[in-house]
């Protein structure tokens, strides 16, 4: 798969989302249930097999009780100079 899914920046996003889920005390299956998705949904995006769109990201942050603004600012601070 080509594109930004294999970039260092996207890897940092996925790592941060994994931490968000763990800090919320949720397993992949628990998060998936709260999102109304199969457990494979969480597993696949966490390992980079599936890309997330912005709406999905916002729902994940909401379910994990994380402020989207702060999360986005953190990710933005981790971005390299180019894709």
Whether the CB-CB separation of 59 and 35 falls below 8 Å is answered with yes
Is there a domain that residue 40 lies in? yes
Q: Is residue 21 part of a domain?
A: yes
Please give the chain's pLDDT, 83 residues, in tens: 445 567 888 999 999 999 999 999 999 999 999 999 999 999 999 999 999 999 999 999 999 999 999 999 999 999 988 87
Count of the separate structural domains present in the chain = 1
Give me the pLDDT at residue 83, please: 73
Domain of residue 35, CATH code: 1.10.260.40
pTM over 0.95: no
Tell me which DSSP letter residue 49 carries. Answer: S
- Asked if the structure places residue 10 within a domain, the reply is yes
Does residue 16 belong to any structural domain of this protein? yes
State which residues form the domain around 14: 4-78
Q: What is the pLDDT of residue 61?
A: 98
Residue 65 in any domain: the answer is yes
Angle at 39 between CA 10 and CA 45, to 5 degrees: 10
Q: What is the pLDDT of residue 82?
A: 80
Q: Can you give the pLDDT at residue 5?
A: 62
């Amino acid at each position: 798969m080509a594109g930004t899914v294999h970039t260092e920046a996207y890897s940092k996003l996925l790592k941060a989302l994994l931490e968000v889920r763990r800090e919320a005390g949720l397993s992949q299956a628990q998060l998936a249930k709260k999102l109304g998705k199969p457990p494979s949904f969480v597993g696949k995006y966490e390992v980079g097999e599936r890309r997330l769109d912005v709406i999905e990201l916002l729902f994940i942050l909401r379910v994990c009780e994380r402020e989207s603004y702060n999360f986005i600012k953190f990710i933005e601070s981790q971005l390299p100079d180019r894709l």
